[in-house]
Copies of this chain bind each other. A is one copy, B any other.
């Protein structure tokens, strides 16, 4: 009777238990599901069947009520779920509530409140600086080592993995153009990122200190912040990226709770500049994560960015985001920024992998500088789990369709 007996080594075993929202056409409206191997457990129905008090948080069409319930509830629910899927006495009750992943439709797992995107990889920021400002004395802007640079993106165009991405059109102007031209982007790119999902809100005027970030952040997911480099290059001075990013941001269908990633916590890289007290994480618990990301185009792996190399942590990003008194809402999402490691094959964007198109990638189906119509981009990742296991992150995938 699968899938309680998930194969040894499955990255979605009972040590993981990420949350999503699924439906079954014609049979089941949207409701919270928990992934176990290649099955989904109807979590609300399971809670009801077992008389659990968490049914009210789980028998919902979105994760938001669970997100809003706060860290104690998150831990309690996770403990309960772990018991349900591991205690043999529950098998008969729960077996009918486990559905093969292939039979369900997965949805955006939570209602996104505000979406913020950071720029936290030093390797990425230096690569971008070298590409666009080759003559600058320093490839980083003067503020980069003092604060985690971020900006707001479009929450309404965050889509779930599997959603097609329509190639955006817009204005672009290369140095040779006498005036801007309009048309489909010719430099459509990937940004391989990790997104953090806020559960517990905060009050205006009350910054979240570094040590409290886990009280607010429920979990994380892979995120592809699709970027039209040509649109972005023309529009972004002086107020930052807008249409070059706002057409789509893809997130995984599965949110991995931070509690599943205890064994993946790691110290961030050594800080090369002294930090202001609200960002100084010298004496805090490590809030970096050892996530091994893989970026594939049409099934061919082009890069393996290591999240452990990120200079700024999710804790620092949350402390910065709120230090001016800005409040948090349940469902706020913030992206890490493109994850790029120091090696060439660790870069999280085609901009970097092809050095702005100069060095095309050789794929089995031809050369690539930027994405072509029909290309399918898939991000996947795993993290070290307890006892040598791997914790899988839900993949985020999307196909580029013509403008």
A151-B151, A182-B277 known; A243 vs B169 contact (CB < 8 Å): no
Bound-state Cα–Cα, A179 to B276, Å: 10
Decide if A3 is an interface residue (CB 8 Å cutoff): no
Please report whether the interface of chain A is mostly helix, strand, loop or mixed according to DSSP: loop
Counting from the closest, the 4 A-B pairs by CB-CB distance are A240-B240, A168-B324, A152-B152, A166-B205
CB of A66 closer than 8 Å to a CB of B: no
A329 within 8 A of B: yes
Listed in ascending order, the chain A residues whose CB lies under 8 Å from chain B are: 113-114, 116, 119, 141-143, 146-147, 149-157, 166, 168-171, 173, 179-180, 182, 204-205, 207, 228, 231, 234-244, 246-248, 274, 276-278, 320-321, 323-329, 332, 403
- CB neighbours (8 Å) of A240 from chain B are 151, 236, 238-241
Contact indicator A157/B204 (Cβ below 8 Å): yes
How many angstroms between the C-alpha atoms of A390 and B333 in the bound complex? 43
Task: Point out the residues of chain B lying under 8 angstroms from A166, CB to CB.
Answer: 204-205, 325
* CB closest chain-B residue, reference A147: B171
Whole-angstrom CA separation of A154 from B244 in the bound complex: 18
Cα distance, A321 to B246, chains bound together (Å): 9
Please state if B238 and A236 are interface contacts (CB–CB under 8 Å): yes
Pick the contact of A114: B150, B154, B179, B327 (CB < 8 A): B154
Distance from A156 Cβ to chain B, minimum over Cβ atoms (Å): 5
CB of A233 to closest CB in B, whole Å: 10
Q: List 27 A-B contacts (CB under 8 A).
A: A114-B156, A116-B242, A141-B237, A143-B235, A146-B171, A146-B180, A147-B171, A149-B235, A149-B242, A151-B241, A151-B242, A152-B153, A152-B154, A155-B155, A157-B204, A168-B324, A182-B277, A182-B278, A204-B247, A204-B248, A228-B324, A239-B240, A240-B240, A243-B320, A243-B324, A244-B324, A248-B325
Do A154 and B248 form a contact, CB below 8 Å, given A141-B237, A240-B236? Answer: no
The docked-state distance in angstroms from the alpha carbon of A154 to that of B323 is 14
Closest to A133 in B: B238
Q: Contact: A247 with B168, CB < 8 Å?
A: no
A74: min CB distance to chain B, Å: 21
Note all chain B residues with C-beta closer than 8 A to A324. 168-170, 228, 231, 243-244, 246-247
For this chain, the copies found in one complex come to 2
A330 shortest CB reach to chain B, Å: 10
Beyond A143-B235, A182-B278, 17 additional pairs, beta carbon < 8 A: A114-B154, A146-B173, A151-B151, A151-B152, A151-B240, A154-B326, A155-B155, A156-B329, A157-B204, A157-B327, A168-B324, A168-B325, A231-B324, A244-B324, A246-B321, A246-B326, A247-B325
How far is it, in angstroms, between the C-alpha of A326 and the C-alpha of B249 when the chains are bound? 11
- How far, in angstroms, from A320 to B248 measured CA to CA in the complex? 16
Separation of A179 and B145 alpha carbons in the complex (Å): 11
Nearest-CB distance from A349 to chain B (Å)?
15
State in angstroms the CA–CA spacing of A169 and B235 once bound together. Answer: 29
Residue of B nearest to A159 (CB): B204
Chain B residues, CB < 8 A from A149: 235, 238-239, 242
Query: In the complex, what residues of B have CB within 8 A of residue A113's CB?
Result: 155-156
**Cβ-defined contact, A182 with B329, below 8 A:** no
Q: Tell me whether A325 and B152 are in contact (CB under 8 A).
A: no
List of B residues within 8 angstroms of A173 by Cβ: 142-143, 146
* Contact status B169-A323, CB under 8 Å: yes
Alpha-carbon gap, A238 to B113, bound state (A): 24
